[in-house]
Structure 1
């Protein structure tokens, strides 16, 4: 593909949490010749498709432009969304370079490799979810409380039942016991 003189190079960086930093990705993109002003990014899980930085970048990219990422998994982890993004990139005539994998999406081999790496990223995410579920199952088997603790213990439930039996409204009972009305309805449903 021939690029015009107005073609630009853009970069995209992403980390999943605020505890992580994009410094290494920024350094790699700058070393690859991406102008600092043309680097967009997000701090959000790759599984989330609504990403402001990626959306802004997609509005700027034109045919002949080059998008550079450190690794394909920075673009996303969902195979279906990754395929959609790669299809969009190809159909718009945008060149994609992935530094880690050495992929150039303008070639048939590059497109094949991009699909393989996207599949591997989705597989890794599935493994992470599977491990998390196994950890939750192990915790349940040991009798550990998962999630938020219940707002009503046995004593609060007994007090609430007594107050309700005396004719006090659910709104007042919830206030007296110190729980939300939803918690009260959950623990003592209306019959």
Structure 2
């Protein structure tokens, strides 16, 4: 059976382009597994589900290897797992089929390039943050005012609103509210 996997890094990004490419390559939409999270994560729900369904003779198609993993180590690990299971890996963008020796070589080269790209992105991000800090533009997450915190705690104590309603009404996060409750209780 032919399966497909697609991934974007954030919930705001769209999977449509990848899904359409996989369908055009002959993958039935019911067999396309999608994650909206970083490719660095070792465990991704849709990928784990896909891997659990694969059987010998199946194939996994991806738009590009960087959709499957963002490090050479992880990409090679997934590739070896698929090879051990007797499952073929096909990348549409790189035109690579890992069932051939040439395909395996090209696969390893592309996985190294994907890891290199990820490193460059991280380095540029780190440099941008350092530059912003040097200019005094980044000081961390903004603090919630004491008045907002006290109002939220008061509403919480009266039990007239749910935590979600308190979040919306006061404009604070659930984590901030629970942290304030824990701190108050520890005194």
- Per the alignment, residue 24 of structure 1 pairs with 17
- Structure 2-normalised TM-score? 0.75
Contact 1:136 1:146 in 2 (8 A): no
Distance 1:151 1:55, change over 3 A: same
Q: How many residues align?
A: 152
Larger Rg: 1
Give ranges in structure 2 of 5+ residues lacking alignment: 147-178
Q: How big is the alpha-carbon RMSD for the aligned residues of Structure 1 and Structure 2? A: 2.2
Give ranges in structure 1 of 5+ residues lacking alignment: 1-7, 154-178, 184-191
- Per the alignment, residue 53 of structure 1 pairs with 46
Deviation for aligned residue 1:180: 4.6
Structure 1 residue ranges, 4+ long, deviating more than 6 angstroms after superposition:
none
Match of 1:15 among 8, 11, 29: 8
Q: Deviations over 1:2-35 (max 9, x none)?
A: xxxxxx0001111111221111111111111111
Distance 1:151 1:26 in 2: 41
Higher helix share: 2
Distance 2:18 2:138 in 1: 39
- Structure 1-normalised TM-score? 0.73
Q: What are the residue-to-residue correspondences of 1:163-174 with 2, within 5 Å?
A: none
Deviation for aligned residue 1:69: 0.7
Deviation for aligned residue 1:150: 5.2
Distance 1:96 1:145, change over 3 A: closer
Distance 1:146 1:123 in 2: 30
Deviation for aligned residue 1:112: 1.1
Deviation for aligned residue 1:95: 0.8
